[in-house]
Chain A
Amino acid sequence: MTEPLLSVRDLVVEFPKRKIKLTALDKVSFDIYPGEILGMVGESGAGKSLTGAAIIGLLEPPGHVASGEIWLKDQRIDQLPYEQMRRLRGKRIAMIFQDPLTSLNPILTIADQLIETIQTHLPLNDKDARARAVQLLDEVGIPAASKRIDDYPHQFSGGMRQRVVIALALAGEPELIIADEPTTALDVSVQAQIIDVLKRMCHEHKTAVMLVTHDMGVIAEACDRVAVMYAGRVAEIGEVRQIVKRPQHPYTQGLMGSIPSIVERVERLTQIPGSMPRLDAIPSGCAFNPRCTQKIARCTQDRPELITTDQGQVSCWLYDGETP
């Protein structure tokens, strides 16, 4: 088995409030292997975006990593000083945000921004950097790239802008891209195209991706493996096919059943009763236990760790004692 590119171990992120400490991420552990696309799926407030922010060192104060470790290959990156972390960003880990307009500077041309990013990370002169920029734009599917490179962001449509953002993220030839809801702001017909570009580019450049999204469709289209988050914890990790077809955790089962099917029509959707707990009211034991239809006595007392089964890892007592 290959060494993981990124390794997150027992990551705890806390937000100190006036009287209490909110634990936004609670012992999150997962690995990302070179060249793979790992999906992070969960509902709003599950902590999926926060995980990405913690990895790249962009947690909003007063949020901070309280314990746990983040390893990028054999370098520990959760305690790096600001300056070193800044150099790591873009070069080894790049980020793609939901809204392409906010990640592009409106008063600079695409060429300015791309060439600057390339030259920050690679030792290229202006001419070579420009050639590289055109090549990148061409690869992400921007027609007439050599002409359009001198345009400003507002001259591009939403989908084209997100392609530019992908090109920008790839400019430093990073080992890992964290993509936070990259298609959420786009129309369905454009969304499909962007997923394709992201998949193809990362495959060609051998870049690993952590794809954060709430959309199970995007996960199924793009990812190799999936981590399902619930209330700041990892509920389940596994191959995408296993998660979609044979989810193990009762939460994942409910989640999959609640998505209306395009193939067959059902009278009623499966619904998980209640809603995800607020961070200041996470129940003891398994965080999902008040909504779980299969809970046993133990679920309200002990918190389940990730248990390795033949289908992946799941944090649920129902699978305790199964031989891996």
Chain B
Amino acid sequence: MNSFTSINDKPLLDVKNLSCHFDVSKPWLNRVIEGEPQRFLTAVDQVSFSINRGETFALVGESGSGKSTIAKLIVDLIHPSSGEILFDGQSLKNTRGEAFKTLRRRIQMIFQDPFASLNPRWRVGDIIAEPIHAFGLAKSQNDVRRTVEELLDKVGLAGRDRHKYPHEFSGGQRQRIAIARALSAQPDFLVCDEPTSALDVSVQAQILNLMRDLQDEFGLTYLFISHDLSVVKHMADRIGVLYLGSMVENSPSDQLFIQPAHPYTRMLLDAIPDHEMSGRRRKQVTGEIPSPIDPPSGCTFHPRCEFADEKCKQKRPSIHEDQGSLVSCWASEEKRIPTTPKDSQ
């Protein structure tokens, strides 16, 4: 099996052939009576990538692409069906005791919905202090208080805000609190699952800028998950494009937008509204994402792909390298896609 591997030989996070299936069968009795087989949904299908220290790697995809499942797999909220996740050379699966606790502490997550990610009954100070207590990172109550206040200051809130409850804050401010909580575990890797998609654009800009600043200050590595390509372009060094649980392309950010290699990436770029009215040349987008329970054979994108042929319908594409991009597409490998330089830039 070919895999997406980084050029750098010591990545911070190394994901190898990660797969995750969910059992979506009807209850056992119904299956027996109706004579139906068990059904599985392949949420993540043999995904491999690696992220270097200090880098921002983005996963983009539409609904059902498996991007949020990958986030949960990496932070160990759910367990993979197969494949391996190595963090700093260690696997969460095979680590126990103190070492496991340390690994847990080093990987933290920022969630999508700032209204659901903070316990409404807790004061902000207690919310931010939870990881400090859980990982034993402070010697005294005074220590805890000082750390909480410093963190609030770092994310642009006031130290005395620790006495308030989440409902007293706006969405953007809540996301700042969630970031402060993640940072209080002193992580070096942050999984950000659509951190700004619940926020208004002007607030989104504040949060994205803050995340950049914090990355520089703490030397953080980000896995940034989003459906919004313009946000991803702003944040990421490398981008992985997901379609129905498979990674179809993994390219450096700049290259992906200038020379998308996979036909799906091209389609995604064509679908982004031109909010700047730059007159970007775009093609009409057609079709919708098929159900992940019963995905198309071969390359799952073939029903919507203008370059698909018989081979695409039957055989799952392997991964090949093309000018720094890792692409999973027969048409691209066989050079059947005409290179149209994006002259509109």
Contact = CB atoms under 8 A, between A and B. Distances in A.
Tell me, yes or no, whether A binds B: yes
A107 interface: no
B122 to A, nearest CB: 22
B203 interface: yes
B297 interface: no
A188 B271 contact: yes
Interface of A: 43-44, 157-160, 187-193, 195-196, 214-221, 240-241, 244-245, 254-255, 257-263, 265-266, 268-273, 275-276
A258 B284 CA distance: 27
Interface in B103-158: none
Interface stretch (B15-23, B78-86, B89-97, B204-212): B204-212
A196 B230 CA distance: 21
B257 interface: yes
Contacts of A270: 205
A259 B275 contact: yes
B214 interface: no
B267 A265 contact: no
B161 interface: no
A193 B270 CA distance: 11
A188 B201 contact: no
B175 to A, nearest CB: 11
B276 interface: yes
A265 B233 contact: yes
A255 B201 CA distance: 7
Interface of B: 62-63, 170-173, 200-206, 208-209, 212, 227-231, 233-234, 254, 257, 267-278, 280, 284-289, 345
Given A157-B288, A260-B230, A275-B172, A220 B273 contact: yes
B273 A218 contact: yes
Nearest to B212: A268
Contacts of B268: 188-189
Given A215-B275, A255-B201, 18 more contacts: A188-B62, A188-B271, A189-B271, A193-B285, A214-B200, A216-B201, A217-B274, A218-B273, A220-B274, A254-B202, A257-B205, A259-B275, A260-B231, A261-B276, A263-B276, A263-B280, A271-B202, A276-B200
Contacts of A266: 234
Nearest to A264: B345
Contacts of A241: 277
B289 A269 contact: no
Nearest to A241: B277
Contact of A255 (B170, B202, B345): B202
Contact of A216 (B209, B234, B275): B275
A221 B274 contact: yes
Contacts of A221: 273-274
Contacts of A191: 271, 273
